[in-house]
């Protein structure tokens, strides 16, 4: 009886309300110039740190913005339907168990672009509306927009 009451209480609390993030923006997944194409599943697996190698069998270098950054919130919502801190926890589980390397952190979108352009196998994300995409055209590729 105690167990049933406990479970009923849990489900009541779960259905009590839901939380929504309003997202009406898109993000661009950017890459080094020699990465031409990646499909959605590859991008999801790379950024969730489950897959580490690119299709050319080289190690991907990932670049991220702080989780408090609006673009990170949009990235987590549009790709994983999660809050940034939920994705951070998934990363932590892999990084602190020795099964993945944490993405490099950039503090601004221009820093993301510069870092991605400086590595041969890098991936990052910035706002799809960012004027930086035009400014740095030729130094990076846009492999997907979400």
Partner 1 sequence: MSSLFIRLLIASAFLLSFGANTTDWVDNISTSGFIAAGALNISSNEDDKATKSSSIVEGGLHLSAILPKNIEMNGQVLYRDVGDLSNYSNFKAFSLDYLTFDWRYSGSENSEQVVSIGRFKSNGGIYSNTRDIPFTRPSILLAQPIYTEESRSINSHIDGIRFNSTIFTSQGDYSVEVGFGDNELSDNFISSLLQGDNSDSISADGMYFLDLRYRNSNWLIVSTYHNVEIEFAGAIAGDSFGVPNFNFDINMKVQLENLLLGVQYLTKDFEITAELIKQKATTPMIDIFSSYSSKDLAYKAFGYYLQARYFITPTVSMMARYENLDLDLKDMPEIVNSLTGNALSDSENYGLSLIWLIDENWQIAADYHIRKNMHVDTKYSLIEVSWRF
Contact mark string toward partner 1, 32..71, x via CB under 8 A:
---------xx--x----xxxx-x-xxx------xxx---
- C-beta separation of 136 from 28 below 8 A: no
**Taking CB under 8 A as the rule, does residue 104 contact partner 1?**
yes
Sign of the four-CA dihedral 76, 143, 52, 65: negative
- C-beta separation of 65 from 106 below 8 A: yes
Structure tokens that stand for 66 in this block = 């702080």
> In degrees rounded to 5, what are phi and psi of residue 17?
-160, 165
Q: Which is nearer to partner 1, 42 or 108 (CB)?
A: 42
Return the closest-CA partner of residue 123 out of 15, 70, 73, 51: 51
Estimate to the nearest angstrom the gap between the alpha carbon of 134 and the chain centroid. 22
Q: Which is nearer to partner 1, 25 or 105 (CB)?
A: 105
Q: Total number of residues binding partner 1 (CB under 8 A)?
A: 45
Q: Which is nearer to partner 1, 84 or 124 (CB)?
A: 84
Q: How far is the CB of 133 from partner 1 (least distance, A)?
A: 26
Structure tokens that stand for 50 in this block = 């489950």
| Sites of contact with partner 1 (CB under 8 A) | 3, 6-7, 9-11, 13-14, 16, 18-19, 21, 41-42, 45, 50-53, 55, 57-59, 66-68, 80-86, 88-89, 92-93, 95-99, 101-102, 104
């Amino acid at each position: 009886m105690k167990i049933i009451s406990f479970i009923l209480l849990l489900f009541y609390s779960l259905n009590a309300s839901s939380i929504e993030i309003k997202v009406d923006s898109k993000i661009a997944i950017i890459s080094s110039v020699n990465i031409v194409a990646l499909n959605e599943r590859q991008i999801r697996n790379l950024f969730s740190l489950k897959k580490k190698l690119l299709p050319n069998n080289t190690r991907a270098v990932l670049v991220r913005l702080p989780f408090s950054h609006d673009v990170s919130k949009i990235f987590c919502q549009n790709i994983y339907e999660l809050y940034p801190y939920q994705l951070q926890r998934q990363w932590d589980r892999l990084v602190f168990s020795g099964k993945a390397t944490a993405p490099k952190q950039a503090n601004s979108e221009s820093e993301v672009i510069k870092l991605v352009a400086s590595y041969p196998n890098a991936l990052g994300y910035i706002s799809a509306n960012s004027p930086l995409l035009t400014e740095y055209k030729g130094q990076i590729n846009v492999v997907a927009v979400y």
